[in-house]
Structure 1
Amino acid sequence: MWPLIGGLKGEWFPATLPQSSMKSLTGYKVFISIALILGDGLYNFLKIFYSTARNIHSRRKSNHLKTYPDDQNKAIDDLKRNEVFVRESIPLWVACVGYIIFSIISIIVIPLMFPQLKWYYVVVAYIFAPSLSFCNAYGAGLTDMNMAYNYGKVALFVLAAMSGKENGVVAGLVGCGLIKSIVSISSDLMHDFKTGHLTLTSPRSMLLSQAIGTVMGCIVAPLTFFLFYKVFDVGNPDGEYKAPYAIVYRNMAILGVEGFSALPQHCLQLCYGFFAFAIAANLARDLSPKHVRNWIPLPMAIAVPFLVGAYFAIDMCLGSLVVFAWHKLDKKKAGLMVPAMASGLICGDGLWLLPSSLLALFKVRPPICMSFFPSKG
């Protein structure tokens, strides 16, 4: 598509604009990616909301409100898990007091850090967050999909539109991060407590570990970010670390502030088409039989290469090819070992970033040039 759209320079967009301008070729890349991401997110959000509502309705209709059957029908290990989990449960007042304290801190601190986001927006966010968190946690339990980013996108558009042109972009981005963080942690905690239940771990120990990890993250995460930011050219569209989602979310905020006037010519029509394609592709995957479903592309996996380039798609294609071949050779072993292999690849790639960053700090940059000369005599 990009050579075709690039060939329309001077017709669809001014030839004098640089390619990096949002009114030029980059605008088509970014906003078409946004259309795919929003279409995919909206479909999955509605799908999970429907599954959640149907599940709650069926449970109320059957009056099957107990989480576990009668103890007499439970195995000994399940009874022991339930006993440990209930005995070490966290009192409701602790949760309420903690939420109120952290809400007050956020209402005071966040507007000081980001004056564009008014304190009353933070209050509203903390009022609606518990209900959104419940919906996200329940939906994640049913489908294993965390929809926090989609809740954040809704907050982004609403706050960007309400805050006006002067403050809308920053207010929308900060509000998006706030809602996403609150809603996301609910499903994460649910998964962690479920793991604690299965492993006979005290919920109080789990919560204390989460608190320690959060404090560590408040120190480690900023240091890691500034290390990355200092060493690598983060956010450069032509660099190694393009930070595509930073570009996507920023332009979502711009779209919320300026409306469709932020789009280059004919981009809106293309966005409509790709938004519809994302919904149609998801619908086809859900309605098709399994042997057909595996050949229908994922809109989210299409959206990222749209923005960052083909290398991402090539990586995913090679990985899928290895998995496909492994399943053909030994299906049983592949089913057990593929997650372990994927975890090893992800871990190895992540661990290499630390020595890579240290080498970059000392100005050691690949490739290392070597010269070979014929031996004398």
Structure 2
Amino acid sequence: MELANRVQSLTPSSTLAITAQAKALKAEGHDVIGLGAGEPDFNTPAHILDAAKRAMDEGLTKYTPAGGIPELKNAISAKLKRDQNLTYTNEQIIVTTGAKHALFTLFQVLLNKGDEVIVPAPYWVSYPEQIKLAEGKPVIVTADESNNFKITPEQLKASISEHTKAVVINSPSNPTGMMYSEKELQALGQVCLDNDILIISDEIYEKLVYTSEEHISIAQLSEELYNQTVIINGVSKSHSMTGWRIGFAAGNKTIIKAMSNMASHSTSNPTSIAQYAALAAYIGSDEDVTKMREAFKERLDVLYDKLTSIPGVECVKPSGAFYLFPNVQKAAESGGFSDVDEWVKALLDQEKVALVPGSGFGSPQNVRLSYATSLDQLEKAADRIKQFVNNHQS
């Protein structure tokens, strides 16, 4: 039986593929260091686990409203007011089965066939695929590495056509870890306002920032930008809750209502127990979040210094998230490899270090390393990469 065109055009996730390959090698008994995972290596904080247990004990295991329980919407509203000084009613918030589901549902309710969404590259692997699944067209705009992987207002303006419906802004970014400043967001936002383009602001890494520069949501810069923006966020990265699958979208109530209607026919509702766990995350202490961020900052500093000492490896130091995105084109060429993808495969085969090739993120000269693993493992991985590069010097 022939499958639908929409799935035949999809590109498999490079992050999941490399993770599966690393797990297979581990199962064979190899000492593999996997740096492909896009999730914190810390357990979910105890007070959140306790809240989930209480929810089960109290029988809170039934259907909930499709858009999420009111208590969690209230907590999300309070979080947005506390962190970004933004005011949203419950009608402007939908709780989803992860931030990925929020994005997927948003594209489904926004896009008609042929509608365009501007996606800065490097990009998270699922943005283009989700746009294609909604029969839209991803318009890729490559951000220059010399500009810290951030697009300019001029690039944004040049990519707009009569079919442009939205632009995705991910700050801090996966895979680069780069973060837009207030001034940069203001300039991009003005282009969107001038051309009536919806801004999809993916802020899932907002709590993981390692510089003195604060995370800014584009929605907080003006009333006009607030009205033009849909915020995507969740507890996966901030509270180490990737498996709980709770995210949210906040924005125009007409869009949010449409998303809720669609969710009612797809997932019915986010898992009830996970919603009560997320409620505890948003109303509880941020002490564990702070500890996790401090650990990531230490790992970033150590790994960055070790990587940039390797010949042919160049890297812009990120502001947030938990990834490094070094350019290894020179190392690959010097080692006689045809491209970076081949270099990544050889590194895994020979030194048992799993990285994600940048081709999956729209940047084939780079690789993504997650430092969401122990400092000891990161140092070992850096040493193995250095040995691999030295062994292949021409």
In the superposition, the TM-score normalised over structure 2's length comes to 0.27
Q: Indicate the structure with greater helix content.
A: 1
Q: Indicate the structure with greater strand content.
A: 2
In the superposition, the TM-score normalised over structure 1's length comes to 0.28
Which entry has the higher C-alpha Rg, 1 or 2? 1
